[in-house]
């Protein structure tokens, strides 16, 4: 999730400081999640961006995925509980 978030940031969907503009058309649609099967040439995600400098976006998206022969176990949705 970190690398997809960073790719979205570089695509224009985030900002470093409050005064920076955000492009409302920028974002990432994740098509394949942890454990999904994939075939060669199939898209894993769609990146929407107006920027022409895509190297950082590509680097982060490549780091976001690992392709293996067997499916990975999705991480737990709940890590623990907090009592108050």
DSSP per residue, the chain: -HHHHHHHIIIII--SSTTS---TT-EEEE---TT----TT--SEEEE---S--HHHHHHHHHH----SSPPPPPPS-------
pTM of the model: 0.80
The CATH class given to the 2-64 domain equals alpha beta
Beta bridge partners of 27: 48
What are the distances in angstroms from CA 27 to CA 3, 30, 53, 81, 82? 13, 10, 15, 32, 33
Hey, where are the domains in the chain?
Answer: 2-64
Tokens linked to 18: 């409050």
Digit-coded pLDDT (tens) for 27-74:
999 999 888 999 999 999 999 999 999 999 999 999 999 999 988 887
Whether the pLDDT of residue 9 is over 90: the answer is yes
């Amino acid at each position: 999730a970190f690398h997809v978030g960073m790719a979205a940031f570089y695509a224009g969907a985030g900002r470093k400081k409050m005064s920076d503009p955000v492009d409302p058309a920028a974002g990432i649609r994740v098509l394949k999640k942890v454990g999904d099967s994939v075939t060669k040439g199939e898209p894993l995600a769609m990146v929407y961006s107006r920027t022409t400098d895509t190297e950082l976006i590509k680097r982060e998206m490549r780091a976001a995925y690992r392709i293996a022969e067997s499916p990975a176990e999705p991480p737990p949705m709940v890590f623990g509980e907090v009592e108050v």
